[in-house]
Structure 1
Amino acid sequence: MNRVRHQLYITAEWISHYAQSIEAPIQTINGHLIAPATMPIIFWQEFDIPWLVKIEPLIHGSQHFSYETPIIAGMTLDCELTLTSVEKKTGRQGGLTLYTHSLVCMYDGDLIVTAETVLISVGDGV
């Protein structure tokens, strides 16, 4: 299985806590807190990701966020995390496996954000 779904309710407290943890300013729109642009990276903590269970440690390779509209407190997001590719390479330290993921979050049927993330395993990988 290379696709998992999860519904996330975005609270003002969650946004505030995350913003403080990365020392980002708190922003609002129409009196509602706006999530920092990088917040979707922590959405992974809410998923059970079967294809990464036996792969440790992982190195964060890259990430890219593409927004249609900001994430705002009070939204319930329908999110889908997909493993889009697995690529083996040879680095200076030996074998590397690159796991490319796409996280797509929707609100009321509308696309909010797509986050592309590459995680790297050093060694054989799985």
Structure 2
Amino acid sequence: MTFEDFRRSMGHSSRPVRNEIEKGAIRRFAAAIGDFNPRYHDDSRRSDGRLLAPPTFSRTFEYGSIEGLTFAREGLIHGEQSFTYYEPLYSGMTVFCSTTLRDVYERVGSLGAMIFLVYGQEVRNADGDLLEESTSVIIFRDKEVAL
């Protein structure tokens, strides 16, 4: 894809994708990041038996694809990521996640021409309330990209 191809997709979003938050997934994620805090492992700590999800757990969700925005994922570089949390996520919740291509810009670095893709992700509950949002920057390099 060219810079202009990416620019045409700017502002487009995926359709929201339904995700179920499961206890086993929370436990596996917490163990994988080396966080053995009982809030993420011991469901007897809460009267409702739910587990709290660790802060970056939402990266395991499916966010869908932006129609028409398809390109090879090999060689992509993860630039940066930030999160804003509004409500905690717990096991047993159903959430709806989507992604939007918010911005596209070009830079030339020591590795040559690069296209920066700025994505915004949202996690909402069934009522549409925003629970969490994040921004991620992905760097796309292609031999055909020229500035």
Is the shorter-chain TM-score for this pair beyond 0.5, marking a shared fold?
yes
| TM category, shorter | 0.7 to 0.9
Distance 2:66 2:128 in 1: 24
Confirm or deny: 8 A CA contact 2:107 2:114 kept in the other structure.
Answer: yes
Corresponding residue for 1:69?
A: 87
- Would you say 1:3 and 2:24 are equivalent positions? no
Query: Residue 102 of structure 2: which of 63, 84, 95 is its match?
Result: 84
SS at match of 2:61: helix
Confirm or deny: 8 A CA contact 2:65 2:99 kept in the other structure.
Answer: no
Confirm or deny: 8 A CA contact 1:40 1:115 kept in the other structure.
Answer: no
Distance 1:52 1:23 in 2: 34
5+ residue gaps, structure 1: none
Distance 1:53 1:19 in 2: 31
Alpha-carbon displacement from aligned partner over 1:21-77 (angstroms, at most 9, x marks no partner): 111234257342111111122224x63455243343211111111001111111100
Corresponding residue for 2:135?
A: 116
Distance 1:19 1:53 in 2: 31
TM-score w.r.t. the length of structure 2 is 0.74
| Residues paired across the two proteins, number | 124
5+ residue gaps, structure 2: 1-8
One-letter identity of the residue aligned with 1:120: I
Distance 2:112 2:58 in 1: 31
- Would you say 1:99 and 2:109 are equivalent positions? no
Confirm or deny: 8 A CA contact 1:8 1:78 kept in the other structure.
Answer: yes
One-letter identity of the residue aligned with 2:109: G
Q: Larger Cα Rg: Structure 1 or Structure 2?
A: 2
Distance 1:86 1:20 in 2: 35
- Would you say 1:43 and 2:61 are equivalent positions? yes
Corresponding residue for 2:6?
A: none
Q: Give how far 1:97 is off.
A: 0.9
Aligned-residue Cα RMSD (Å) equals 2.1
Confirm or deny: 8 A CA contact 2:20 2:93 kept in the other structure.
Answer: yes
Distance 1:104 1:85 in 2: 16
